[in-house]
């Protein structure tokens, strides 16, 4: 979805975020995977004080009160999404709604007066760290449990010959050196073989592998994998919210860096000669 008329930059950003984030609710696999994860932690959630960090419409806040959470803070920085969450929660039976408080502010500035037992979050970008996971390293509280607490950026090297089509020809792919493009080619679901980046709550982001020396193929693909401890929750290509990201090979070694600017976290990718 694109905004086609001229609006103020602030309104543009707010609506653009709203449009980007509501589409996640088309991804039923993602929703179900999170619900399974929350149910697996039912004993921890029951009677606890919980946070949904970046609550969107607040469906996991609702799930947590249904599982018996004593109190859930549903934190959302986008005012339009916070409105939608409030409306949705107001329509719940009173005994559930009264235990959820929508807090309209950035998660990194939220300072709860009580201890937080459980934090649920879905702040994973297509390239793992390019959305909002960094926020979890700047919290003003220390939850006992973060769900999910880990993620990887997986990669694979393939031959563009097996992706030939009439439009995205190997010649087109060759022009994309140094550029990461999502949704370019149809994923075959077997390409993602090894981790290149890992993020863990409490540890942050680390490079696991930078070299593809010895691997045959002129096309590199990446895909995010959400994990809790070692268990996979969602994966690019399988949960439609995340697709594969492609680039033409231009060497054997590459590097990712992520830098915060005022509005967003930029991903920088380069081949190392
Ligand atoms: C991918 S959506 C997930 C929504 C919801 N947790 C879910 O999984 O259905 C991410 C949400 O987090 C919000 N968000 C991102 N960064 C945030 C931050 N620093 N503080 C508060 N909300 C944030 C976005 O506006 C968006 O609604």
Q: Are residues 177 and 87 in the same domain?
A: no
Counting from 1 in the atom list of ligand 1, the atom nearest the Cα of 78 is 25
Asked if residue 118 is part of any domain, the answer here is yes
Q: Are residues 161 and 113 in the same domain?
A: no
Q: Are residues 104 and 156 in the same domain?
A: no
Mean pLDDT within 66-81: 98
pTM for this entry? 0.95
Mean pLDDT within 249-267: 89
d(CA 124, ligand 1 centre) in Å: 10
pLDDT band with cut points at 50, 70 and 90 for residue 180: very high
Residue-wise pLDDT for 10-37, tens only, equals 999 999 999 999 989 999 999 999 999 9
Q: Are residues 156 and 81 in the same domain?
A: no
Evaluate if residue 255 carries a pLDDT over 90: yes
d(CA 247, ligand 1 centre) in Å: 28
Q: Are residues 156 and 118 in the same domain?
A: no
What is the strand order of the sheet 100-103 is part of? 100-103, 71-75, 49-53, 118-121, 145-147
Q: For atom 10 of ligand 1, which residue has the closest CA?
A: 54
pLDDT at 190: 83
**Which of 35, 37, 63, 77 has most ligand 1 atoms within 8 Å of CB, for mutation?**
77
d(CA 36, ligand 1 centre) in Å: 20
Q: For atom 17 of ligand 1, which residue has the closest CA?
A: 54
pLDDT at 115: 98
Asked if residue 225 is part of any domain, the answer here is yes
**Which of 63, 132, 147, 234 has most ligand 1 atoms within 8 Å of CB, for mutation?**
132
Mean pLDDT within 242-268: 91
Asked if residue 60 is part of any domain, the answer here is yes
pLDDT at 54: 98
State the average pLDDT for the chain: 94
How many domains would you assign to the chain? 2
Q: What is the CATH number of the domain that holds 99?
A: 3.40.50.150
pLDDT at 38: 98
Residue-wise pLDDT for 99-146, tens only, equals 999 999 999 999 999 999 999 999 999 999 999 999 999 999 999 999
d(CA 110, ligand 1 centre) in Å: 14
Q: Are residues 161 and 263 in the same domain?
A: yes
Domain hosting residue 260, numbered range: 151-271
Residues with CB under 6 A from ligand 1: 17, 21, 24, 52, 54-56, 59-60, 75-78, 81, 106-108, 122-123, 132, 135
pLDDT band with cut points at 50, 70 and 90 for residue 186: confident
Q: Are residues 156 and 266 in the same domain?
A: yes
């Amino acid at each position: 979805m694109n905004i086609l008329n001229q609006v103020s930059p602030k309104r543009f950003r707010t609506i653009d975020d709203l449009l980007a984030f509501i589409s996640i609710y088309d991804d039923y696999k993602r929703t179900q995977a999170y619900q399974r994860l929350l149910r697996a932690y039912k004993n921890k959630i029951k009677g606890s004080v919980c946070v949904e960090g970046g609550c969107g419409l607040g469906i996991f806040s609702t799930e947590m009160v249904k599982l018996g959470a004593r109190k859930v803070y549903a934190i959302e920085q986008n005012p339009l999404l916070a409105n939608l969450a409030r409306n949705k929660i107001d329509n719940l039976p009173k005994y559930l709604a009264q235990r959820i408080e929508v807090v309209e502010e950035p998660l990194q500035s939220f300072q709860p007066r009580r201890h937080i037992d459980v934090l649920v979050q879905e702040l994973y970008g297509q390239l793992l760290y390019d959305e909002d996971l960094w926020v979890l390293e700047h919290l003003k509280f220390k939850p006992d449990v973060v769900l999910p607490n880990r993620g990887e950026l997986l990669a694979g090297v393939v031959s563009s010959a097996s992706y030939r089509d009439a439009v995205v020809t190997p010649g087109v792919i060759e022009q994309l050196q140094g550029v990461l493009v999502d949704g370019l080619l149809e994923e075959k679901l077997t390409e993602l073989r090894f981790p290149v980046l890992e993020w863990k709550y409490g540890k942050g982001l680390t490079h696991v592998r930078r070299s593809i020396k010895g691997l045959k193929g002129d096309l590199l693909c990446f895909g995010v994998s959400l994990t809790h401890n070692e268990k996979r929750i969602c994966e690019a290509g399988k949960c439609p919210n995340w697709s594969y990201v492609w680039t033409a090979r231009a060497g054997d070694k590459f590097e990712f860096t992520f830098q915060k600017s005022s509005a967003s976290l930029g991903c920088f990718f380069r081949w190392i000669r």
